[in-house]
Structure 1
């Protein structure tokens, strides 16, 4: 069974899964965004400009490519000439009743607003391996009813969105609400940049994978092996019965949890384990201010979820993707 040695076997990549450029409502070109983010010391940037701008418009009157094609091409070109950084393109969609969603790793773009989620699900089934994220959730998402087919594609919710000191949304309660409804979603944090400030702030998503390649990166996203962090230095392992955060667990007599939280720059106050109904079932404070290794067991129960939450002395947070029974 793997423990803190996973820090050596896997890499923890810090970056932004939700941002904008001049291709829609932001500033700067995708290439400028990728360059800026890399110089800020983060590991990846996903530009997710608004779909309505991407499929309707061309980059310029002389361009043969749509803005969607331009975004994908710019990301590929940047990856080809740059090492130790991953640049990707996706797009943001608006729905009629439930806010905005990002779509990653699709081979084409969904045209128009999501008015019919059945139609949207059928479109997703025709993509290669798409990943959908719920963006900046608000109260209306509480009415988002569970759908077993759509659940196969919606992998994440933003538990943090924005770029402090500008507007910053805490979506933690909506995360737990949707987990209670049965959605199998994980936690991410999106800066949702509309200014030329990609990576200026410390709220980031951490993706845990073997290498910074598209293949390994998207494999980690498909497995929900991510967590939200409000610092640049939190390394978090959260496993149950040897399975990583994001996993759906096989039935067993008990759940053996492994938690390893390490932050060399910011003192950790405590770590909580949160489950159904937002209930804190366990919590523990570290003896060393920057590190906590914690193993414990509880009886197995069906239809439960568990999240690890790291709370800092300055009230910053780290929130894991869930494990499910």
Structure 2
């Protein structure tokens, strides 16, 4: 491994004078918070106090409010949005209007970029899977707040076992009055992984989370602590900051004057880089000339390399062999013990390598509630592992072919099955394979042993034929909501042709009435 360490007490050209905003690696660095409260929930004062205070007293570049959704009274959400718009000024101060989805079971999220509020006690957003679906529908983005605070038998963030969502941008690594000691240096949900933090447990399960932090201020002193979230962006506007956050180009710092860049192959934190013999570059300095004493490179939750130093400006360059599925981030430490943690850079397969995909296929058209079934996902040779998600929840990691999962179908509905595939070089993102359609079993009707009525084909596309005795006099087709879609009542001949081309693809109940007896059958319309 090749390494270069540049230690200097003077700054590079263009950094002299620490003009605001500081710049590094072609980006400006902007400082602020997104998770704070007012008297609209359980804090103090109003949004019209909070935004100017953060701008004028705390000298922040950006600021967001996230009052608890369940405490917001009618009209207060509109007031917060109005205040945010009133104080937003491109190039001077950027504001975000947000709210905190505060589930006592599934954890807290700061949510921004929505027109509406989601409530944890409403059916549309009462669990972690549903709030992610709500974000998709409402074009929202979220950050995981104070991980572990709602533990004690709960399912905070579903312990990262749901399908990773690009709508969740980061996780707080410091919060409230506490630094990294509580929300980063911890043993997360799992106690058999050599003490991995909440942050690394999420990253190892495929979540693309940047490193953030927020004051969670309840006392009307917004931004008076020394800690910040720092965003690397091209300009100080809402759109530019949001695009940078979506790119995970931000870091978490216990010192509001610390500037940090972490690149692999010239790609800044938040990027994805092809595996290979890659060049790493870590650069950091402090606007008040505080000294740095250590830097660490973390790979998949383990310190992979580190240096000891004593400098006001650090540039650490090294060359390292990287492999698909790895992620890297850096931690830099100052003389006073304050630290900053970068967002990761993720490693994908070689440039010309195509991520593995399942063979195209589908499950059965429908399954009955309370039945058990085995779902099999066919793949090409070379797949070494498959993660299977049922209804967005991870249910199995399978490394033995054929890849399948046996389950009991307890609930009625249409449930997505997602898979993540791995071969010798790389893994895919989570992919939707198909849906499992679970329906209620039709009421069983006692029939004569000798069945006189039948129909074909099934599944059908354009027509069906019904055969049987001369005495069947009524035919009814209803959908699964009980609405009649086709019916006729007369004397039929032995063979009856029925045009079903007008029916949408789906599952129907075909009822044939014959001389006081009824035959009920499921009819599948394929297209």
TM-score w.r.t. length of structure 2: 0.55
3-state SS of paired residue (1:109): coil
Query: What runs of 5+ residues in structure 2 fail to find an aligned partner?
Result: 1-11, 15-22, 186-196, 348-527
1:195 aligned residue (216, 219, 232): 219
Q: Which has the higher strand share?
A: 2
Flag the 1:96–1:193 CA change in 2: closer, same or farther, 3 A. closer
Higher helix share: 1
Aligned residues: 306
- Superposed, 1:91-102 pairs within 5 Å as 91-102=99-110
| Residue aligning to 1:121 | 132
Q: CA deviation at 1:99?
A: 1.5
Bigger Rg over Cα: 2
> Residue 46 of structure 1 aligns with which residue?
64
Q: Give the Cα separation in 1 of the matches to 2:321 and 2:91.
A: 46
Structure 1 counterpart of 2:115: 107
Q: Which residue of 1 aligns with 2:382?
A: none
Partners of 2:118 and 2:272 in 1: CA distance? 29
What CA deviation, in whole Å up to 9, does each residue of 1:213-250 have, x standing for no partner?
0110100110111101111211100011222111222x
SS of equivalent residue, structure 1 residue 23: coil
Structure 2 residue 273 is the aligned partner of structure 1 residue 255: no
**CA drift at 1:303:** 1.0
Distance 1:171 1:131 in 2: 22
Q: What SS is found at the alignment partner of 2:138?
A: coil
1:262-301 to 2 correspondences below 5 Å: 262-265=285-288, 266-276=290-300, 278-286=301-309, 289-301=311-323
Q: State the partner residue of 1:30.
A: 47
- Asked if structure 1 preserves the Cα contact closer than 8 Å seen for 2:292 and 2:313, the reply is yes
TM score, norm. by length of structure 1: 0.87
Alpha-carbon distance between aligned partners in 2 of 1:8 and 1:156, rounded to the nearest angstrom: 22
Greater relative contact order (Cα < 8 A, sep 6+): 1
Provide the secondary structure at the position in 2 that maps to 1:88. strand
For residue 285 of structure 1, give the secondary structure of its aligned residue in structure 2. strand
**2:95 is the counterpart of 1:87:** yes
Which residue in the other structure is 1:62 paired with? none
Q: Give a deviation string over 1:77-97, Cα, whole Å, max 9, x none.
A: 1115x8611121101012353
Match of residue 162 from structure 2:
147
Residue segments in structure 1 that go unaligned for 5+ positions in a row: 59-65
Whole-angstrom distance in 2 between the partners of 1:146 and 1:133: 17
Q: CA RMSD in A?
A: 2.3
Conserved? CA contact 1:136–1:171, under 8 Å: no
DSSP 3-state at the match of 1:280: strand
Post-superposition Cα deviations, 1:28-54, rounded to whole Å, max 9, x if no partner, equal 111211111112211111011111123
1:179 maps onto 2:192 in alignment: no
Q: Distance in 2 between matches of 1:119 and 1:138?
A: 20
